Every structure is written in C-alpha cells, then in structure tokens.
C-alpha cells in the first residue's frame, strides 16, 4: 500500500493507537509496537500494525510485516469475531496471511470483507482457500465476477471449476487414449514466461523481498509475464506505475482493468504521448472515464487517438481550449480543422 492510498483510510482508533500512529510519534515506541513488544489488545494491535506496515521507515515497516505474518491464529481468530472490523484490516490479513486456510475461511465469512478483497483471494489463493470461498454461496450469487475469477485462477482444480459451472473446452480424452494428461501440463510449466511460478513460490518471493527490504522495482525484475499481469490487475498504485511502463501490452492492459486505478492515473496515461493505441482505445471505451473533461481534452491531442474519435470530442471543449487547439501544430490537420470550424460556429452563435 502506498502512502497516498493509506491516507484515504478512515479508521476510528483508540487513544492508545492514536498515540502510536500519529505524526511525530516516538520512533522507539513505533518500533516496539511493530515487533509486538507493547501490551496492546487484539484489535488495537492489528490496527497499529496496519498503519506501521505502510511506514516510510523501512525497519519499522519490515518489523510490522514480519510480526503480522507470525501472529498466532488464536489472536487473530479473536479479532475476527468483531463484526464491525474495518474492511481495510481484513484486506491486510488477506495480503499477509493468504496461505492460512483457517484464517482465510474466517475472513471470507466476515460481514465486513469487501468485494475487492474477495476478488483478490479468488485471483491469488490456493485450492484449499478457493474451496472455502466457493462455499460462500451468497457472495457468489451477488458477485458473478467472483466465480469467473476463481475459475481463471490456475490453482483451482478441475473439479472445483466444474462445480462452479465451468465447461471444459477440451474434454479429457485420457480415458480413451490411455495417455497421462499430466505430462503436457508439466511441459507447459517449463515455458517460463507463459505460466510463471506457482502461487506458493510467488508468495515466498514477495515475503523474502519484504524481509530484505527490496523495492517493488527490484521484485518486479524477478517476476514472469503472468505474474506481472496479476500485479497489474490487483496491485497498489506503486505496482500499477511499474506495470504500466512494461512493454508487454497484456501487462499494460491489466493495469487499466485494475479496480483500484484512479482517475488521476488514467489521466496521466492519456497525457503520455508514448501510451499505446490499445491503452487509448481502452480509455475511449470506458464511459465513466470519458465523462471527465481533462481526459477528453488529453485524448483529443493524443497521437494514438483515431482522428474521427478526436474530432467528435472537439465540440465538448471550452472556447479557450478550442482556440488553442485550432492553432496547434501538435495535432493532425483533421483535428485542427475541426477545431477551427467549431470556433467559427460558436462565434456565429454568439455574434462575436
């Protein structure tokens, strides 16, 4: 979680927690809390770790992450009995303890668990946790995308996928031929970039990187294409910034599909003259983004925006921007001509 994202979280905290996480709090006290050396109650302890896991102080952050991952399940089980637990605390548990099947089972059934946290689990969890997720029939009915994400998870076995309504596009012919279907799967896993590491290996890489204090850029150097696509789809702002700079179009597209992407990030992509035609097309097709004036303005002047699309956006500009566009040499002749015609039309209407 980036510092910018953490500031948007609104948590009601006790006075004890406030003293530890407020700006200017004593570093020694924060480090002791991060190491689990202070007498804090379960919910307060988890809340303090939530804030300290986002600390700009590397030692405090690393200690908080290690403590969170080492906390006994009995402590966290007691915390999870609180039905008013903040959704961000539940998301923190998922990201730190996704391999803990029992704990994830409790998170899945918690009334405050957000859908984005459920989707994260559906996308990254192993088979045992996916089974727990599939048992939450109310959530599956309410959010069909959960079913789709579970089915797309490479850790989901065939039986679970079939139970969720998946139809095998290539029926198993092993019974007819006597061939072992595990051999082709094993060969595909050796393709490197195509499949990527197993979920367990990926989590181990992330944990090791956290403990060593590596930057996300350094972690990204170790990721395969499939793993980078996952980080583009689910990662925080720092991950999205890294993944949008990748040359692979699938990785870039995954960033725009990330449900956490902000309008500001989309605007930066629209303003970036090196953004690919595919990215520009994805923005043009998104009705919510196209309601924003600055994004429309950026797309009109983007070299990868098809001229007919840009021309249709011209009448939506203000008079000031149309005047600048009409004189601009940074756009195609078709667009600047459309701007001049729109300018003339408005002048006639106003009598100016």
- Full domain range(s) for residue 254: 235-291
Residues 6+ apart with CB under 8 A from 286: 266
Q: Are residues 283 and 315 in the same domain?
A: no
**Residue 187 placed within a domain:** no
**Residue 267 placed within a domain:** yes
**Residue 80 placed within a domain:** yes
Q: Are residues 30 and 100 in the same domain?
A: yes
Query: For residue 171, how many C-alpha atoms fall within 13 Å in the half-sphere facing its CB?
Result: 4
Per-residue pLDDT, 256:
95
Q: Are residues 31 and 162 in the same domain?
A: yes
Q: Give pLDDT tens digits for 204-231.
A: 666 666 555 556 777 777 788 888 898 8
Q: Are residues 279 and 310 in the same domain?
A: no
Q: Are residues 26 and 140 in the same domain?
A: yes
Residue with tokens 């559906």: 122
pLDDT of 190 higher than 60? no
Per-residue pLDDT, 223:
83
Q: Are residues 122 and 245 in the same domain?
A: no
Share in percent of the chain as helix, strand, coil (round to 5):
65, 0, 35
Q: Give pLDDT tens digits for 269-290.
A: 999 998 999 999 999 999 999 9
Q: Are residues 155 and 32 in the same domain?
A: yes
**Residue 177 placed within a domain:** no
pLDDT of 233 higher than 80? yes
Exposed/middle/buried for 67, CB within 10 Å: 0-12, 13-18, 19+?
buried
The radius of gyration of the chain from alpha carbons, rounded to an integer in Å, stands at 25
Six token digits for residue 350: 């106003």
Q: How far apart are CA 266 and CA 284, in angstroms?
A: 11
Q: Give pLDDT tens digits for 51-108.
A: 898 888 899 999 998 988 888 888 888 899 988 889 999 999 998 888 888 899 999 9
Q: Are residues 243 and 326 in the same domain?
A: no
Percentage of the chain lying above the pLDDT 90 cut: 39
Q: Give pLDDT tens digits for 98-153.
A: 888 889 999 999 999 999 999 999 988 888 899 999 998 888 888 888 898 998 88
**For 304, which DSSP code?**
T
Q: Are residues 325 and 279 in the same domain?
A: no
Q: Are residues 129 and 16 in the same domain?
A: yes
Write down which residue in 142, 166, 190 finishes a domain: 166
**Residue 179 placed within a domain:** no
Per-residue pLDDT, 261:
93
**Residue 249 placed within a domain:** yes
198, 225, 235, 246, 255 from 192: Cα distances, Å = 11, 9, 22, 17, 22
**Residue 216 placed within a domain:** no
- Asked whether the CA dihedral 69, 74, 77, 78 is positive or negative, the reply is negative
Q: Count how many domains the chain has.
A: 3
- Of 35, 77, 28, nearest in space to 53 by CA: 35
Torsion of CA 120, 123, 125, 128, to 10 degrees: 120
**Residue 127 placed within a domain:** yes
Q: How many CB atoms are located within 10 Å of the residue 257 CB?
A: 12
Residue 290 — φ and ψ, nearest 5°? -75, -5
Per-residue pLDDT, 281:
94
Write down which residue in 124, 145, 166 finishes a domain: 166
The span from the first CA to the last CA of the chain, in angstroms, equals: 53
61, 313, 322, 351 from 338: Cα distances, Å = 54, 10, 9, 20
Q: Give pLDDT tens digits for 299-334.
A: 999 999 999 999 999 999 999 999 999 999 888 899
pTM of the predicted model as reported, rounded to 2 decimal places:
0.47
Write down which residue in 111, 135, 166 finishes a domain: 166
Q: Are residues 286 and 323 in the same domain?
A: no
Q: Are residues 92 and 150 in the same domain?
A: yes
Per-residue pLDDT, 199:
56
């Amino acid at each position: 979680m980036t510092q910018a994202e953490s500031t948007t979280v609104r948590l009601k905290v006790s006075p004890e927690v406030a003293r530890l996480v407020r700006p200017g709090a004593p570093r020694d006290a924060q480090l002791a809390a991060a190491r689990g050396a202070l007498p804090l109650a379960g919910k307060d302890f988890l809340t303090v770790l939530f804030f300290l896991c986002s600390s700009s102080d590397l030692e405090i952050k690393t200690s908080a992450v290690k403590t969170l991952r080492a906390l006994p399940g009995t402590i966290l089980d007691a915390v999870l009995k609180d039905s008013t637990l903040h959704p961000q605390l539940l998301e923190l548990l998922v990201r730190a303890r996704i391999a803990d099947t029992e704990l994830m089972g409790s998170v899945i059934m918690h009334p405050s668990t957000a859908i984005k946290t459920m989707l994260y689990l559906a996308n990254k969890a192993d088979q045992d946790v996916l089974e727990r997720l599939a048992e939450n029939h109310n959530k599956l009915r309410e959010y069909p995308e959960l079913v789709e994400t579970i089915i797309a998870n490479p850790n989901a076995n065939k039986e679970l996928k079939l139970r969720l309504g998946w139809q095998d596009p290539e029926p198993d012919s092993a019974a007819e031929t006597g061939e072992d279907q595990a051999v082709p799967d094993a060969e595909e896993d050796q393709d490197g970039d195509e499949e990527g590491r197993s979920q367990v290996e990926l989590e181990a890489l992330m944990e090791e990187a956290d403990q060593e204090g590596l930057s996300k850029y350094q972690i990204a150097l170790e990721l395969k294409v499939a793993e980078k696509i996952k980080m583009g789809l689910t990662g925080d702002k720092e991950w999205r910034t890294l993944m949008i700079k990748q040359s692979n179009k699938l990785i870039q597209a995954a960033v725009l599909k990330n449900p956490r992407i902000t309008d500001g990030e989309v605007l930066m992509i629209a303003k970036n003259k090196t953004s690919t035609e595919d990215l520009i097309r994805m923005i043009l097709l998104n009705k919510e983004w196209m309601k924003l004036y600055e994004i429309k303005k950026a797309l009109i002047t983007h070299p990868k925006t098809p001229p007919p699309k840009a021309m249709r956006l011209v009448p939506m500009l203000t008079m000031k921007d149309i005047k600048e566009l009409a004189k601009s040499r940074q756009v195609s002749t078709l667009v600047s001509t459309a701007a001049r015609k729109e300018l003339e039309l408005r002048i006639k209407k106003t009598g100016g």
